[in-house]
Amino acid sequence: MDRAQFYSPQAGRRIEAPRHARTRFAIGDVVRHRTLDFRGVVFDIDPVFANSEEWYEAIPHELRPNREQPFYHLLAENEESVYVAYVSQQNLLEDSAGGPVDHPTVPQLFETFAAGRYRMRRSLTH
Query: How far apart are the C-alpha atoms of 125 and 10, rounded to whole Å?
Result: 21
Residue 11: how many CB atoms within 10 A of its CB?
17
Write the class of the CATH domain 3-124.
Answer: mainly beta
Residue 81 in contact with residue 40, Cβ under 8 Å?
no
pLDDT digit of tens for each residue in the chain (126 aa)? 577 666 666 666 676 656 667 899 999 999 999 999 999 999 999 999 999 999 999 999 988 999 999 999 999 999 999 999 999 999 999 998 879 999 999 999 999 999 889 999 988 766
Residue 64: which residues within 8 A CB-CB, separation 6 or more? 56
Residue 2: which residues within 8 A CB-CB, separation 6 or more? 18, 19, 20
pTM: 0.85
Tell me the sheet residues that pair with 105: none
